[in-house]
Structure 1
Amino acid sequence: MSEHTLASIANALGPPDPALLDAWLDGASEAQLVAKGNQIASARVLTDVRRLYALAYSFWQSATDTQKEALRGFSPELLSIAVHQALALDALLADHEERGDSRGASRATLEVALRDAFEKALSLRDQARAVLLGVAGNDAAAQEEVNQAVGTAEDPAALARGIGALVALGKKYLGIPAGPIKTRAKLLRLDGDYIGKLETAATTLSAAALAASARPAGEKVTQGSLDRADGVNLLLLTQIVRAFENAHEQDPTIPRLVPIAARRMFERGTKKKGSGAAEADAES
């Protein structure tokens, strides 16, 4: 197995002229590249290119003129483009995974915040119901009004609406200038501060629910960039694999480059031998 890495090959071959990649991709639409790359995970592409480009570079370094003549469809310049695109994909994937880890941690934090806000709001809602029932007294209609205001707690939105309805009812009671309701409100400490506490709980719950349900900004763009990079790398890898395949048919001393992780992305025509023999050729 070659000890060459993508970085060492890139350093040895030098940076390619950007115009070469543009020429290679000429005629391929962005949608086509993304669609091609969407069929395979980036990690699988990288697994194969790391191994196969090292083999291709090692062979070319020691190849005879006759072998190089047979290896039409391949050049060090093409390999340089492919290696640099592989490195770009590697960096993009690392950034994507790092952002994904960050999003995961952030998502977990948001979910904990939502759970805490929900539990606090639910406890306050139940307490407020009891307080308002006490303020309502023995009047059946007033008690029914409180029970209707409570609503449900099937989700954060429903719970927040229920608290809002209780707040409105509490304000209504506090607006009564005198009488038994005013007295009971004082006895049970239904006041402006308590109403404010309920409003804050409902607002906090709604904000936590909104934050937890929001999609991470730029996620689709990042995945789209990855898919495009995968597509570009697959086009280059396919050309290099086929070049070695065709050369091997002319000269068996030229190894075949057999994708393993991404083998399903390649035409069966590139594997004319049994898979075991093919892999043995590639590793030789």
Structure 2
Amino acid sequence: DVTHYNQTMTGCNIQKCFEEVKKSSEISKRRQEVDGFNSENRWKKRGISLVNTMFGIAFTAPHLNQTGALVHVYVDGSVLVSHGGVEMGQGLYIKTMQVASSVLKIPIERIHIQETATDKVPNTSPTAASAGSDLNGAAVLNACKIIFERLATYRERFPDNGWDDWIRKAYYDRVSLSAMGFYITPGIGYDAATNSGHPFNYFTFGSAVSEVEIDCLTGDHQVIRTDIVMDVGSLLNPAIDIGQIEGGFMQGYGLFTLEELIYSPEGTLYSRGPGMYHHVPRHR
């Protein structure tokens, strides 16, 4: 399969998502029920729809697909991580701490995150394009691997002593316990003139079915049920990513049902982006 910008698709699971959500939502059966409801009710109507989605992961401006990380290990064995990503509730900090914990093979409680600052990691790219965990997690991975490799001789000579002892011995041997990590997304590039290249590192896929009911007299509405199936690759933290999927659905629901859409005379949508999300629907 090839996209309209001529990037070859690999690992495309959209068909799998589509078939799975069709089955879990029982959309064929429920569509008949919706038709029956609508034929029996004059002022309340229901609708049901299935929509697929595919989203490319990477900045289409190649120079933004880079970031750094700074990792310090202190003589007491604690670890301080700085990277170029901004935490805004999406769980980036906990994910990068998980990466450090996995590489250094120490409990996550020993690892601390410092607020993002350009005096620690310069020239940071925006935390956007759904690439924050990929970029910053990989930079932290790189820095932690450097430090872990410096400790190899102590792990080999004193296999039973553990992390704290290895750190103390390295410190007294004047081994650097600080490292700068760096990561660039490989193979990124797109030529608009020829409409060819590889603008995205990979894609996420999803299918969703929603059934809604509208009061034709008052405009009151409710979502009766929504089924979502997403393929977002290998998860660093499933609980966070499920929360992101559910939260994204609620934000989109609020944007299209509770916000006033403002357009320019030429038809450009002005009210777009997180800054326009004033009303998030609540469960009742």
Structure 2 length as normaliser, TM-score?
0.23
* Higher strand proportion (structure 1 or 2): 2
Where relative contact order (Cα < 8 A, 6+ residues apart) is larger, the structure is: 1
Larger Rg, first or second structure (1 or 2): 1
* Higher helix proportion (structure 1 or 2): 1
